[in-house]
């Protein structure tokens, strides 16, 4: 009898174990959650235990990210001053009247300005990444942590071209640090979690997805003397005023971007600077006190359908080189205007912005292979990337002209007066002195002060050569002009 009882216990244990394994394999859950009846819009819907479990796991992921990252996010308070006038207008009689009764009145005074934003700690030594526009012209900066501690911070370096800045707090111990991710691996549709201080609401967490990547040509960012480097991540995670400089994270709690801007015309459209771009700026500012960028010395231009047709290009892949800067790395290896850059070191070039971002991220001295299309032939040139010079180093009565408008423009030979009027940088070619409304020139975007350097790829040195070239153009055909505008070069297709 006792032996039978022992055998029975063993059988019950084995059956229980087998049943447990079976249930675990069926539900694949850390613990069993029974099915529930959910009411949605008046209709009862059965939700399985497995579905509830998956929702619970997703919820726990967001909780984990918030608990992991929020301690490393800081609330930045900025104090600065601006010069203001007591009197908004100058009126000698009114000022004399006030002076008689109140004495001498100061014309200007200092107005205190307070601002705020977000940032995140990236190094235990106290380094913080934020937006440049958050700390622009700051005279006093205070950062506050989630644990209530506050520290004074100083600006280590600023980069207006990317709208990034690095701050540092001194004598701070046990600072929580974020984990930086890899923004090159982002895919549209991935989770995006923004953390910051919108409208002063400390350490707010919002959730959305990556809506798009590689956004550029957007009309925002801090003032910059040179080019603006834009390669934004677009997200619908809620970003508002005060979020600027805070982290955008993935579902693993890694920082993938620096929240930087919102679209004022629409809700749910925010933009973040990719963390890989921020890493390069951070390292350069810490190491050298400035941002050192790679430089090729070309004026790239996107290829549209009309340019492809008129330049007889096989496709629209790559970018068109509209100009080459003298003594630049590009000129030294023989790159010419009219070349099409297809790839660098095998990485396809998709746009002019893509080329600019890619080259700027390279260390000066880096040797690269540049794949070009020239005269319908594929060639490869090797270049050593240079260091981008400062912007000021990169810079350099009516005259007789073509009075009768040609396709909506009037032009003139370049004279000292026109050089002064239009701030021209070169003396070669002819300058546009007028653009007729509702003309093909106006539609093509030509402006007064543009310098025409080529007509259908024929070089123009003076007014006589321009007149000779346009006389050979068929009146019913499009014509390709190469122009100089300010410091840039462009190709323009001008219709009949």
Catalytic residues: 133, 163, 244
Spatial CA neighbour of 334 closest among 343, 324, 342:
324
User: CB count, 10 Å around CB of 331?
Assistant: 15
- Residues with Cβ < 8 Å from 471, sequence gap 6 or more? none
Beta bridge partners of 152: 142
For 224, 340, 354, the CA distances from 217, given in Å and listed in that order, are 14, 21, 11
Asked if 234 contacts 273 with a C-beta cutoff of 8 angstroms, the reply is: no
Going from the C-alpha of 109 to that of each of 84, 96, 104, 112, 486, the distances in angstroms are: 5, 19, 14, 10, 37
CB 449 within 8 A of CB 485: yes
Instruction: Measure the CA angle with vertex 420, ends 415 and 421; round to 5°.
Output: 95
How far apart are alpha carbons 87 and 405 in whole angstroms? Answer: 49
Could you tell me if 470 and 410 are in contact, meaning their C-beta atoms sit under 8 angstroms apart?
no
Contacts of 51 (CB under 8 A, 6+ apart): none
Rg for the chain, CA atoms, rounded = 31
List the structure tokens of 94. Answer: 């009114």
Q: Cα torsion for 142, 177, 62, 60, to the nearest 10°?
A: -130
């Amino acid at each position: 009898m006792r032996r039978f009882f022992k055998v029975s216990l063993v059988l019950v244990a084995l059956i229980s174990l087998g049943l447990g394994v079976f249930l675990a394999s069926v539900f694949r859950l850390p613990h069993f959650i029974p099915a529930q009846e959910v009411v949605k819009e008046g209709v009862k819907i059965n939700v399985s235990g497995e579905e509830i479990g998956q929702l619970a796991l997703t919820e726990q992921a967001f909780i984990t990210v918030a608990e992991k990252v929020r301690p490393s996010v800081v609330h930045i308070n900025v104090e600065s001053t601006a010069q203001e006038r007591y009197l908004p207008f100058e009126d000698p009689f009114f000022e004399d009247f006030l002076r008689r009764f109140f004495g001498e009145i100061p014309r200007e005074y200092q107005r205190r300005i307070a601002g705020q934003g977000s940032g995140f700690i990236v190094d235990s030594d106290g380094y913080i990444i934020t937006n440049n526009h958050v700390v622009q012209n700051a005279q006093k900066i205070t950062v506050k942590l989630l644990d209530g501690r506050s520290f004074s911070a100083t600006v280590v370096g600023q980069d207006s071209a990317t709208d990034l800045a690095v701050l540092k707090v001194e004598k701070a111990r046990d600072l929580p640090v974020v984990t930086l991710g890899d923004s090159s691996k982002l895919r549209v549709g991935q989770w995006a979690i923004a953390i910051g201080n919108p409208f002063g609401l400390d350490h707010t967490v919002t959730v959305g997805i990556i809506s798009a990547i590689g956004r550029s040509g957007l009309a925002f960012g801090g003032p910059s003397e040179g080019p603006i480097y834009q390669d934004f991540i677009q997200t619908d995670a809620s970003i508002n005023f005060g979020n600027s400089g805070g982290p955008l994270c993935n579902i693993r709690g890694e920082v993938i971007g620096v929240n930087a801007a919102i679209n004022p015309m629409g809700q749910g459209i925010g933009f973040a600077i990719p963390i890989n771009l921020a890493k390069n700026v951070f390292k350069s500012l810490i190491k050298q006190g400035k941002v050192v960028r790679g430089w090729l010395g070309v004026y790239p231009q996107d290829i549209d359908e009309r340019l492809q047709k008129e330049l007889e290009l096989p496709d629209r892949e790559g970018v068109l080189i509209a100009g080459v800067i003298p003594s630049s790395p590009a000129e030294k290896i023989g790159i010419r205007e009219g070349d099409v850059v297809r790839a660098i070191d095998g990485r396809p070039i998709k746009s002019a912005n893509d080329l600019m971002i890619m080259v700027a991220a390279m260390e000066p001295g880096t040797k690269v292979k540049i794949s070009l299309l020239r005269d319908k032939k594929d060639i490869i040139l090797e270049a050593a990337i240079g260091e981008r010079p400062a912007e000021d180093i990169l810079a350099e009565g009516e005259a007789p002209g073509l009075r009768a408008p040609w396709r909506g423009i009037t032009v003139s030979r370049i004279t000292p007066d026109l050089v002064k009027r239009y701030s021209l940088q070169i003396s070669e070619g002819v300058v546009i002195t007028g653009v007729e409304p509702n003309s093909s020139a106006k539609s093509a975007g030509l402006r007064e002060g543009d310098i025409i350097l080529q007509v259908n790829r024929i070089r123009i040195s003076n007014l006589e050569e321009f007149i000779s070239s346009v006389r050979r153009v068929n009146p019913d055909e499009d014509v390709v002009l190469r122009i100089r505008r300010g410091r840039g070069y462009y190709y323009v297709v001008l219709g009949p």
